[in-house]
């Protein structure tokens, strides 16, 4: 068990980022019905924007993070909401093709601007040891990452249960016409859901790049695959369950990476669980 403990810690921390990404995915899917395969490309773009602001423009990382999560994320959400409106009346196959096109377009744009080479992405959260778990040192960056994910899950749960807008987001899925008759615009509700969901994508992209210590457009774009696994566990319905699903996916991946580490024929199996 002591051999697996470090991998469990890594799995929980990485899984919390998967869950954070999955919560944004579930939120946008529930309110618009669009299965956004381009969600991972938004994560990647957010990480690159953060890199430009912090490492190239020399902004303090808190300022860069605020700009990415609360400015870039919402603007991207508003643009994606317009895409979702355009895709709303078409068949499911065309919706999927549309979001795949979005992923390819953003991936290509990032390649043109930043190139295809992997860049070093230094951790910006404090890396000092917080405490020892058995023989494993748990850092403050690990705790903060897990705390951000858990706090976001709790906040979204309370938001859906206690706020008028959260109730409207649940209502727009069941009966948008009735919601409109009650004096709340379904368009405004869906727009708010995309803004919040894309902000979650921005946050998860920056955190994932920090955990990986690298800025690789392919790795960051494929973060959405892990989010799909977490969202599937939640049946694309429950936001808190999506977060728990992300942790489960992360832990399974980490344990498998340890279990098959010495078996050449099974290399890469740890990437398959999502």
Q: What pLDDT is recorded for position 178?
A: 65
pLDDT band at 16 (very low <50, low <70, confident <90, very high): very high
Q: What pLDDT is recorded for position 170?
A: 67
β partners of residue 129 = 139
What letter does residue 182 receive in the DSSP assignment?
T
Distance CA 203, CA 268 (A): 27
What confidence tens digit (pLDDT) does each residue in 79-135 have? 988 888 888 788 888 888 888 998 999 989 998 998 888 889 888 888 888 777 777
What confidence tens digit (pLDDT) does each residue in 182-213 have? 666 777 888 888 899 999 999 999 999 998 88
Closest C-alpha to 223, from 13, 14, 7: 14
Report the run of H or E that residue 47 belongs to, with start and end: helix 39-51
* More reliable by pLDDT, 257 or 51: 51
Residues 6+ apart with CB under 8 A from 78: 191, 194, 195
What confidence tens digit (pLDDT) does each residue in 24-67 have? 988 888 877 788 888 888 999 999 999 999 998 999 999 999 99
Q: What pLDDT is recorded for position 180?
A: 67
Q: Is 78's pLDDT higher than 80?
A: yes
Q: What pLDDT is recorded for position 147?
A: 92
pLDDT band at 260 (very low <50, low <70, confident <90, very high): confident
Distance CA 256, CA 245 (A): 16
Q: What pLDDT is recorded for position 127?
A: 83
What confidence tens digit (pLDDT) does each residue in 129-181 have? 877 777 777 888 889 999 999 999 899 888 888 888 777 776 666 566 666 66
């Amino acid at each position: 068990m002591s051999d697996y403990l470090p991998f469990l810690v890594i799995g929980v921390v990485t899984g919390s980022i998967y869950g954070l990404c999955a919560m944004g995915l579930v939120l946008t899917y529930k309110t618009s019905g669009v299965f956004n395969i381009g969600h991972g490309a938004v994560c990647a773009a957010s990480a690159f924007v953060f890199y430009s602001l912090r490492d190239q423009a020399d902004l303090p990382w808190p300022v860069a993070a605020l700009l990415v999560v609360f400015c870039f994320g919402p603007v991207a959400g508003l643009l994606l909401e317009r895409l979702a409106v355009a895709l709303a009346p078409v068949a499911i196959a065309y919706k999927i093709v549309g979001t795949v096109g979005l992923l390819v377009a953003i991936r290509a744009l990032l390649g043109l601007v930043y190139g295809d080479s992997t860049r070093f992405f230094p951790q910006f959260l404090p890396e000092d040891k917080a405490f020892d778990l058995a023989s494993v040192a748990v850092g403050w960056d690990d705790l903060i990452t897990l705390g951000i994910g858990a706090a976001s899950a709790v906040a979204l749960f309370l938001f859906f249960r206690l706020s008028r807008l959260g109730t409207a987001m649940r209502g727009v899925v069941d009966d948008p016409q009735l919601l409109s008759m009650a004096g709340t615009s379904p368009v405004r509700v869906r727009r708010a859901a995309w803004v919040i969901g894309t902000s979650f994508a921005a946050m998860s992209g920056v955190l994932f790049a920090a955990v990986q210590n690298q800025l690789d457009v392919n790795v960051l774009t494929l973060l959405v695959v892990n989010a799909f696994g977490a969202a599937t566990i939640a049946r694309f319905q429950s936001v808190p369950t999506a977060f728990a699903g992300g942790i489960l996916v992360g832990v399974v991946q980490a344990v498998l990476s340890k279990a098959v580490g010495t078996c050449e024929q099974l290399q890469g199996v740890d990437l398959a669980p999502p």
